[in-house]
């Protein structure tokens, strides 16, 4: 292992920034830890305003040529990046699992193939992106998507590479240049992405990766006057700081924030399916923004649902995420674990009852928890925990179910379990959410709009919505006459 390289399960990862097609080291570093056992993975270059300025300058310098690159060539390079990801799925999977604690089997089978798909989808969508020309009093109208400019993308730690490329791929496809700032708790696969993109032929400066703390490098990026777009996934408090920072330059924002999503279980639902959907919310140790952490069950089936849920949850295996048999791994960081336990212990003191769990197990592993006897206005119901903690409340009828479901400041997602299609239509029409699933969960298509309502976000990305954000839309109106004869 060299001074600027660490090795994870035999995979070499450069710990420096990637700026203007070159590796750049910072004077200071921060320590990256594995949540699996708390071991030190290595010292990562800790960026400051100086690296932020250098990265934005590199993106600005590279922008004219990349924006002027044909759609076909941009799409070709994005497909080449996808090829590179697919060749390194095993390496990316083990590095990400070691760095953020998510299941290795999930990375191998779903997450990393999705990373490649992100690039392929937006490459292909770019080639068919168009708006039909139309006429106004004999004048022709032509809509075009013009690249906006350097884009700052700030990504979270719970699904680092997948969520990063969900932003990077459309930004690059749109003709923008990118400064990617990964979360400091899981920075390693972003560094590998820089290598893959360079090997695929992405020109220097088109993708830049800078590491560090939000207060030290993030603020410098989001307040920079040369940045034309900012996309952020993370917490509401951080989003407010980013929005305030971007306001001085009126930089457009796309914000995908927290959630406190409901799962509504009606008495006419397939109860086994509903229980499976509820237990699925423990995926990734509960560190999923879309998770339906508030289980709302019709009174007449609440006891039976709770019994079946406890039985089903007891079958989950919690442990080392590298083990194929593991269902739930660790939480990302000791600070996050302490936050989770604080929520639970305060809820118990306030009168909640733990049907299962309710305690820290060992290391960075928190027992899957279900709390009942919780009030709608309680902290545990209103605030995002971001851990393997669910609450269960009951309702008498549709009106109460909808009132409880909409009774937080969030509106990211919702899930409905019912056997009545008419009820599903009535209920989903009244739910405040960016995504609603009926009798399913986590089915996502990149061509669909994605984002949240209320404090769960601003804007939508996905399909054409991504290009609408990452581009400046232009309408060109041409008169039917006035042309000179050039014959």
Indicate whether 486 belongs to any domain.
no
- According to DSSP, residue 35 is labeled T
To 10 degrees, the CA torsion angle through 217, 221, 225, 229?
-170
DSSP 368-419: -EEEES--TTSHHHHS---SSEEEEEEESSHHHHHHHHT-SS--SEEEEE-S
Q: Do 68 and 13 lie in a common domain? A: yes
Instruction: Answer for the pair 56, 224: CB distance below 8 angstroms, yes or no.
Output: yes
Question: Model confidence over 106-155: pLDDT tens digits?
Answer: 999 999 999 999 999 999 999 999 999 999 999 999 999 999 999 999 99
Whether residue 1 is predicted with pLDDT greater than 70 in this model: the reply is no
Q: Do 57 and 153 lie in a common domain? A: yes
Whether residue 305 is predicted with pLDDT greater than 80 in this model: the reply is yes
Indicate whether 443 belongs to any domain.
no
d(C-alpha 472, C-alpha 148), whole Å: 5
Indicate whether 224 belongs to any domain.
yes
d(C-alpha 141, C-alpha 320), whole Å: 58
Instruction: Residue 345: give its domain's CATH number.
Output: 3.40.309.10
The pLDDT value recorded for residue 487 is 59
Question: At residue 215, what are phi and psi to the nearest 5 degrees?
Answer: -70, -20
Q: Do 285 and 223 lie in a common domain? A: no
Question: Model confidence over 252-299: pLDDT tens digits?
Answer: 999 999 999 999 999 999 999 999 999 999 999 999 999 999 999 999
Question: Model confidence over 39-98: pLDDT tens digits?
Answer: 999 999 999 999 999 999 999 999 999 999 999 999 999 999 999 999 999 999 999 999
Rg (CA), the chain: 24
Q: How many CB atoms lie within 10 A of CB 304?
A: 13
Contacts 24+ apart (CB under 8 A), 372-378: 372/306, 374/347, 375/350, 376/404, 376/407, 378/347, 378/350, 378/352
Indicate whether 482 belongs to any domain.
no
Q: Do 162 and 48 lie in a common domain? A: yes
The verdict on whether 400 is a catalytic residue reads: no
**What stretches of 4-95 adopt beta strand conformation (E)?**
5-8, 11-14, 17-19, 22-24, 29-33, 40-45
Q: What's the whole-number average pLDDT of the chain?
A: 96
* pTM, rounded to two decimals: 0.95
- According to DSSP, residue 260 is labeled -
Total number of domains constituting the chain: 2
Closest CA to 246 of 264, 266, 228, 270: 228
131: CB partners within 8 A, 6+ apart = 143
Contacts 24+ apart (CB under 8 A), 461-464: 461/166, 461/167, 461/170, 461/231, 461/254, 461/256, 463/125, 464/125, 464/129
Instruction: Answer for the pair 167, 231: CB distance below 8 angstroms, yes or no.
Output: yes
Q: Do 404 and 419 lie in a common domain? A: yes
Distance, CA of 357 to chain centre: 27
Instruction: Residue 15: give its domain's CATH number.
Output: 3.40.605.10
Q: Do 145 and 270 lie in a common domain? A: no
Whether residue 363 is predicted with pLDDT greater than 90 in this model: the reply is no
Instruction: Answer for the pair 450, 460: CB distance below 8 angstroms, yes or no.
Output: yes
The verdict on whether 440 is a catalytic residue reads: no
Q: Do 210 and 313 lie in a common domain? A: no
Q: Do 87 and 213 lie in a common domain? A: yes
Indicate whether 480 belongs to any domain.
no
d(C-alpha 471, C-alpha 36), whole Å: 40
Indicate whether 483 belongs to any domain.
no
Q: Do 231 and 353 lie in a common domain? A: no
Q: Do 43 and 192 lie in a common domain? A: yes
Q: Given the residues 51, 184, 289, 461, select the one marked as catalytic.
A: 289
Q: Do 191 and 48 lie in a common domain? A: yes
Q: Do 315 and 241 lie in a common domain? A: no
Indicate whether 123 belongs to any domain.
yes
Whether residue 238 is predicted with pLDDT greater than 70 in this model: the reply is yes
Q: Given the residues 184, 256, 298, 461, select the one marked as catalytic.
A: 256
Indicate whether 420 belongs to any domain.
yes
Domain residues for the domain of 396 are 262-438
d(C-alpha 61, C-alpha 64), whole Å: 7
Instruction: Answer for the pair 305, 313: CB distance below 8 angstroms, yes or no.
Output: no
């Amino acid at each position: 292992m060299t001074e600027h390289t660490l090795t994870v399960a035999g995979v070499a990862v450069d710990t420096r920034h990637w700026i203007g097609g070159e590796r750049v080291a910072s004077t200071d570093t921060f320590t990256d830890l594995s949540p699996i056992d708390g071991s030190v993975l290595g010292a990562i270059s800790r960026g400051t305003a100086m690296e932020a300025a250098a990265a934005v300058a590199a993106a600005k310098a590279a922008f004219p040529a990349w924006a002027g690159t044909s759609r076909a060539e941009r799409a070709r390079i994005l497909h080449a990046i996808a090829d590179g990801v697919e060749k390194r799925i095993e390496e990316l999977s083990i590095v990400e699992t070691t760095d953020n604690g998510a299941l290795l089997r999930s990375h191998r089978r779903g997450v990393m193939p999705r990373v490649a798909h992100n690039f392929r989808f937006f490459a292909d969508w770019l080639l068919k992106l168009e708006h039909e020309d139309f006429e106004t009093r004999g004048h022709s109208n032509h809509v075009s998507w013009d690249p906006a400019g350097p884009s700052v993308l700030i990504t979270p730690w719970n699904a680092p590479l997948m969520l990063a490329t969900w932003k990077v791929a459309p930004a690059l496809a749109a003709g923008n240049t990118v400064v990617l700032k990964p979360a400091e708790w899981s920075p390693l696969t972003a560094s590998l992405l820089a290598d893959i993109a360079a090997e695929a032929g992405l020109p220097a400066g088109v993708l830049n990766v800078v590491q560090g703390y939000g207060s030290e490098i993030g603020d410098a990026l989001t307040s920079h006057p040369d940045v034309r777009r900012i996309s952020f996934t993370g917490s509401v408090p951080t989003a407010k700081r980013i929005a305030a920072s971007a306001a001085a330059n009126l930089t457009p924002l796309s914000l995908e924030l927290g959630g406190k999503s409901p799962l509504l279980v009606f008495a006419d639902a397939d109860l086994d399916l509903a229980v499976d959907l509820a237990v699925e919310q423990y995926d990734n140790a509960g560190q999923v923004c879309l998770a339906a952490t508030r289980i709302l069950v019709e009174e007449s089936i609440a006891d039976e649902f709770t019994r079946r849920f406890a039985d089903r949850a007891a079958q989950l295996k919690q442990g080392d995420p590298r083990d194929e048999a593991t269902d739930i791994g660790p939480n990302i960081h000791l600070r996050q674990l302490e936050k989770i336990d604080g929520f639970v212990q305060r809820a118990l003191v306030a009168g909640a009852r733990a049907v299962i769990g309710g305690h820290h197990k060992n290391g960075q592993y928190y027992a899957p928890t279900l709390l009942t006897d919780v009030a709608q206005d309680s902290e545990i119901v209103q605030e995002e925990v971001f851990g393997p903690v669910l609450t269960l409340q009951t309702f008498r009828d549709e009106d109460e179910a909808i009132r409880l479901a909409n009774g937080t400041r969030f509106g990211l997602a919702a899930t409905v379990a019912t056997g009545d299609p008419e009820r599903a239509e009535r209920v989903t029409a009244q739910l405040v959410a960016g995504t609603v699933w009926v009798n399913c969960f986590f089915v996502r298509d990149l061509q669909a709009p994605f984002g949240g309502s209320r404090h769960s976000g601003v804007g939508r990305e996905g399909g054409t919505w991504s290009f609408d954000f990452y581009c400046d839309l232009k309408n060109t109106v041409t008169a039917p006459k006035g042309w000179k004869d050039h014959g």
